Structure 1
Amino acid sequence: MSAQISLVEVTDANRDAVIAVRVHPGQEQFVASVEKSFQDARDTPEAKPWFRAVYDGATPVGFVMLSWNLVPGPGLRGPYFLWRLLVGAEHQDRGYGTAILTEVVRLLREAGATELYTSCVPGEGSPLPFYRAFGFEPTGEVDDDGEVILLLDLGSRP
């Protein structure tokens, strides 16, 4: 399936529906919830959080959050960093993750970005294979939380 998605601003009208999007319980160790993402965005404005709900038609199926064009500094990698990407448990394995990243790459290119960082917890069930298949490469760095740092050259994606 080739998932058709739209990235939608989170408002008071859709906030509860977006918060209700949850990954499988076994994946919670790898990605924080939407609610935690909102809290992190509020607590870390210097990271320049940019987030959107991911919809398929009228149904919220996921969530994405980036640091958008920040000045890198201690604890802040960028200028573009994929902070959160999640697809609801009942919507997984339908191509949404790839569709979300493809749309994010399109938007970043429009903004003049040339690379995108992310990080992930290694281990059984980690999203590392997904990111690697998309084109992210390990930088050889590990952050203070033990997450592997990955980099995507935006010129490497069609």
Structure 2
Amino acid sequence: MTITLREVTEDNVDSVLALRTTPDQERFVSTVTDSLTEAAENPQGNPWIRAVYADGQPVGFVMLSWNVEPQPPDIIGPWFLWKLLIDHRHQGKGYGQEVVQQIVELVRGQGATELLTSHVPGDGGPAGFYARLGFVPTGELDPEGEIILRRIVHE
């Protein structure tokens, strides 16, 4: 299985917009459409947007704040995993873990020392997923009450 991160273009945007979580996960992960709207409304977050492909098929979506000047509480950074969605038909196959590993390598190559993310607290949420990947709570919350997490990425 080869996981690649590709730009979202006119050629693939419809298939990327069609990606969905399970209904139970919708309170934890916004849709691709909502994520793209959020990116357009927050250009100061320097959104870096990619479709996640598994063996040539779109299976997910990822968005980062790419090397931004932090402006707490609204802009968290400099490296912030803003969105991660794996389509419900492709969950449980290790794709999300592989995407995070690729992101860690990418930002490390750009000189990052840490990767931040956040998640909505609650049963069925992504806390365990992020903990397994080495993210730990910073003790801070974003303005929406999401728990901010940090993963050290330097060797």
User: Normalised by the size of structure 2, how large is the TM-score?
Assistant: 0.96
Q: In structure 1, what is the Cα distance between the partners aligned to 2:145 and 2:76?
A: 15
Q: In structure 1, what is the Cα distance between the partners aligned to 2:2 and 2:27?
A: 28
- Give yes or no for contact 1:4–1:99 (8 Å, CA) kept in 2: no
Query: 1:144 Cα shift?
Result: 1.7
Q: What count of residue pairs does the alignment treat as equivalent?
A: 154
* Unaligned residue ranges in structure 2 (runs of 5+): none
* Unaligned residue ranges in structure 1 (runs of 5+): none
What does residue 91 of structure 1 align with?
Answer: 90
What does residue 130 of structure 1 align with?
Answer: 129
- For the aligned residue pairs, the C-alpha RMSD in angstroms reads 1.0
Q: Structure 1: which 4+ aligned runs deviate by more than 2 Å?
A: none
Query: Do structure 1's residue 149 and structure 2's residue 148 form an aligned pair?
Result: yes
The 5 A counterparts of 1:1-150 are 3-74=1-72, 75-150=74-149
Identity %: 50
- Give yes or no for contact 2:114–2:151 (8 Å, CA) kept in 1: yes
Q: In structure 2, what is the Cα distance between the partners aligned to 1:55 and 1:7?
A: 6
Query: 1:36 Cα shift?
Result: 0.7
- Give yes or no for contact 2:19–2:59 (8 Å, CA) kept in 1: yes
Report the AA paired with residue 11 of structure 1: T
Query: 1:4 Cα shift?
Result: 2.4
> Secondary structure of 2:10's match?
coil
